[in-house]
Amino acid sequence: MLKLTPILLLIGYGLVMFWFSSWRTRKELDQRSSPLADARLKTLTDRFADAIGVQKVLVHIYEIEPVNGLAAPDGRIFITRGFYNKYRQGEVSAEEMSTVIAHELGHVALGHTRKRMIDFSGTNAIRMALATIFNRFLPGLGVIVANFITTLLMARLSRDDEYEADAYASALLVKAGIGTEPQKSLFRKLDRLVGMGGGAPAWMMSHPKTEDRIRAIEENEARWQISPGP
């Protein structure tokens, strides 16, 4: 038991840090967001609500400029003001924007926030353990090596979550009668919308590469034997 104590303490520390980060995020979102009021998008989210058997799907606008969507730790769905402006300017269609909402609903439905808490706590313990081991052989560099390894691990876990949320969104879009074509067309636009260039190597990225995400959607379509929709 005594041998496990340092590991348990590290996991506990990770849980506390994740809880504190979630609390700060929730407070920030409370202060800088408001309910989305858009008739066209509501028509589409009402179709999602019917498909999953809930009364309504609530979406909020987060008042920041970066193009993004997110699912808060408490299950709320957010679209950033910057992303919403792209939609209002005609760069993104209502159907394409709805795929972002479907994707974030996937994160909520699949419990990814809770999973990330466990992943964060576990990798924090791994990071500290590796740093201790590597420092014996690489004094001064052990922490850097440990951080690099755990960063790769977290990136891989994050990419897995994104694929799962994409698949959930595809299924929901099909069930709601929207189809997956808007999902794929948005991905083709995404690098330009968010201002990304070549970026980091795929194995260091927290999100899969665009072509890989589209390929996964098409593989799901083939497996489910469905058409991509309108």
- Give the pLDDT confidence of 81-93 residue by residue, as tens digits: 999 999 999 999 9
pLDDT at 30: 79
Mean of pLDDT values over 64-77 = 88
Residue 49 lies in a domain: yes
Band of residue 11 on the pLDDT scale cut at 50, 70, 90: low
Band of residue 201 on the pLDDT scale cut at 50, 70, 90: very low
pLDDT at 111: 87
Nearest to 124, CA basis, from 215, 4, 224, 13: 13
Residue 119 lies in a domain: yes
pTM assigned to the model: 0.75
Mean of pLDDT values over 5-24 = 58
Cα–Cα distance measured from residue 15 to residue 117, given in angstroms and rounded to the nearest whole number = 7
Whether the CA torsion 31, 32, 34, 36 is positive or negative: it is negative
Check residues 140 and 38 and name the one with the higher pLDDT: 38
Residue 90 lies in a domain: yes
Residue 24 lies in a domain: no
Lowest mean pLDDT of 34-43, 125-134, 185-194, name the range.
125-134
Range of the domain at 116: 32-224
Q: 79 with 100: CB under 8 angstroms?
A: yes
pLDDT at 126: 63
Check residues 140 and 202 and name the one with the higher pLDDT: 140
Band of residue 47 on the pLDDT scale cut at 50, 70, 90: very high
Mean of pLDDT values over 45-61 = 95
Q: What share of the chain is helix, strand, coil (3-state, %, to 5)?
A: 70, 5, 25
Strand pairing of 69-71 and 59-62? unpaired
Lowest mean pLDDT of 40-49, 95-104, 197-206, name the range.
197-206
The interaxial angle of helices 5-31 and 112-137, nearest 10 deg, is 130
Residue 54 lies in a domain: yes
Number of structural domains in the chain? 1
Residue 164 lies in a domain: yes
Check residues 29 and 165 and name the one with the higher pLDDT: 165
pLDDT at 8: 55
Residue 112 lies in a domain: yes
Mean of pLDDT values over 142-148 = 67
Residue 16 lies in a domain: no
Q: What percent of the chain has pLDDT over 90?
A: 45
Structure-block tokens of residue 122? 């576990």
- Sequence-distant (≥ 6) Cβ neighbours of residue 9 within 8 angstroms: none
